[in-house]
Amino acid sequence: MAALVVASVGAMLGSTAPATAAPECSDVEVVFARGTDEPAGIGAVGKALVDTLKPMLKGSSISTYAVDYPASYDFLEVAAGATDMSKHVQATVANCPETKIVLGGYSQGAAVVDVVATSPIAGLGYTAPLPRAVVPHVAAVVVFGNPSARLGQPLTKMSPDFGPKTADLCNKADPICSLGRDWNSHVTYQKSGLVKTAAEWIAKHVKASDPTTSKAAPKPTSR
């Protein structure tokens, strides 16, 4: 009798359990890694970028994802940020295949994007390389104050997959991405014209992109 009661209750619970809700998919998702020592979130540059982008993509829903990593002065944690960014992008492609993805980062966050865009295999703490099938789902890439650019290796040159989709932007005299010595130029991207340049770059690529094709637009220039 007890077994029958348990079975009956289980059957009733199973018949009334709610179905799993489908994920809400936006038209565009901006996946952004903040700079060193910024509080959790997409950071000041990421927010300025998204705020500038929205009027350029009227009629499209835009969501954001803040890469989960320390953004501390332990720069080895870049690998953790790259792993989180890559895993999130892969999950978005699996759950929302029509969503057009934008990768972005500022300063240390730009280094996070560098790893994701240029490392086809795991290593040095990076554990989740992007499969090649994911590449067409990334409509555009924008980075600000990218440390590798100072070494003559901007992301436009480093990544055969993402280079044509990338705007690697450096404020004039920014010592992080150039041989300049004006530290103020590194911490004022959100007030610079390069945020608008990046938003225009994204809008152009989002409008032109297709899950199975990748069209390149003329590369913007840094200040």
148 in active site: no
**Residue type present at position 67:** V
Task: Determine the length of the chain.
Answer: 223
Helix (H) or strand (E) holding 101: strand 100-106
Q: Of 107, 119, 178, 209, which is the active-site residue?
A: 107
Distance in angstroms (rounded) separating the CA atoms of residues 194 and 145: 11
Distance in angstroms (rounded) separating the CA atoms of residues 108 and 29: 21
* Closest C-alpha to 216, from 162, 170, 169: 162
Q: Of 186, 192, 205, 222, which is the active-site residue?
A: 186
The DSSP letter of residue 102 is E
Q: Scanning the structure block, which residue is given the tokens 């179905």? A: 19
* Closest C-alpha to 37, from 191, 195, 199, 186: 186
Beta bridge partners of 166: 141
Distance in angstroms (rounded) separating the CA atoms of residues 65 and 19: 26
| Cβ atoms of 35 and 66 closer than 8 Å | no
186 in active site: yes
168 in active site: no
* Closest C-alpha to 189, from 198, 201, 180, 181: 198
Q: Of 168, 174, 209, 222, which is the active-site residue?
A: 174
Would you please indicate which residues are annotated as catalytic (active-site) residues?
107, 174, 186
